A and B are shown apart, each in its own frame.
Chain A
């Protein structure tokens, strides 16, 4: 087979094929998913007496399901993500994982690699009848909604999860990243890392070409196969920031912005960003 050209019939055919794959996958998901959620709801009820063990089991099941999903997406050429690749520099034990949010696929990719993790879920999604038992059972936390004070409940619950040995995944931008820059980081992730005294792991996510971002919807697949890559940018010990969540946020946000700017410019100094193969990431400190 000749190498695919950037323009012409072949990319257009690939794009059309991906569109058909997306439609078939979404249709299959719509038919099969309710049964899966039903099984998980039954498991939640069966394991209700041991909530922590239930959460761990459900998170493991979810992570396995995401790995299967990525194998399927690669098979039908919708997107590619190698969940078997480890993240060098990631600490063992509970931690707060923060990441930029270029695509809807990144939370599933991070969970697939970590093997689990608690997240903050938007209220509307959290209260959806079909998902609610799984989200509660797996230890995910309902977002604060419009009430600025209810972030206190969210912080308390997440610190509790960290103390129970779970990891917490937060997208500090609060929504998907804009195309040409990163959004402003909120302070929740940094506050819970400081309160719980656990490492803060910064993961850079790249999806090239962009897919499932705010501007690239599900049914508009790119002409080339989207590939998702994760890279540990740094592991910060909150005591390095004197347990000050503002300082910790500034450290992390400026690092992410520098990384994103270098990646956007294709700067050679951002080589670790571009392919994610070597491990020259600046690990500040490691905590087991």
Chain B
């Protein structure tokens, strides 16, 4: 069953980063975003973090040791967004 956050993320990646020859459907959910996977670079990561903040209201903290883990793939990023949104709603934010 398609995950709405994962689908939105794939569209966000293509739109925000202006990827040519890549469609949201062609992005594999578990494939690495950087290096040999989708081939994104660190500036892409920065742009993606800003876009995620705007779209989902989730801020990525700088110097968080787990950022590499969160930004590994679409599925890990979706999990990160879900957990932050759950924390926010639990704290009433």
CB within 8 Å of B: which residues of A? 144, 146-153, 155, 186-188, 191, 245-246
Contacts and interface: CB of A to CB of B under 8 A. Distances in A.
Interface in B6-46: 18, 34, 41-46
A149 B46 contact: yes
B89 interface: no
B68 interface: yes
B63 interface: yes
A186 B34 CA distance: 12
Given A153-B62, A186-B41, A246-B18, A147 B46 contact: no
25 contacts: A147-B65, A147-B67, A148-B34, A148-B42, A148-B45, A148-B46, A148-B67, A148-B68, A149-B45, A149-B46, A149-B61, A150-B63, A151-B43, A151-B45, A152-B49, A153-B62, A155-B43, A186-B42, A186-B43, A187-B42, A187-B43, A187-B44, A188-B42, A191-B43, A246-B18
A155 B64 contact: no
Contacts, number: 50
Contacts of B71: 148-149
Contacts of A188: 42-43
Interface residues of B, number: 18
A149 B43 contact: no
B60 to A, nearest CB: 5
Contacts of A245: 43
Contact of A149 (B18, B34, B41, B49): B49
A144 B68 contact: no
Nearest to A148: B45
B41 A152 contact: no
Contacts of A146: 65, 68
Interface of B: 18, 34, 41-46, 49, 60-65, 67-68, 71
B42 to A, nearest CB: 4
B39 to A, nearest CB: 9
A193 to B, nearest CB: 12
Given A149-B62, A150-B62, A187-B41, A155 B68 contact: no
Contacts of A153: 62
Contacts of B46: 148-149, 151-152, 155
B28 to A, nearest CB: 19
A148 B61 CA distance: 11
Contact of B64 (A147, A151, A186): A147
**Most chain-B Cβ atoms within 10 A of its Cβ — which of A148, A188, A245?**
A148
Nearest to A145: B63
A147 B45 CA distance: 10
A246 B60 CA distance: 23
**Most chain-B Cβ atoms within 10 A of its Cβ — which of A149, A186, A246?**
A149
Nearest to B60: A149
Contacts of A144: 42
Contacts of A148: 34, 42, 45-46, 67-68, 71
- A-B interface, 9 closest residue pairs, ranked by CB to CB distance from nearest: A148-B45, A151-B42, A187-B43, A147-B67, A152-B46, A149-B67, A191-B43, A187-B41, A149-B60
A149 B41 CA distance: 11
Contacts of A152: 46, 49, 62
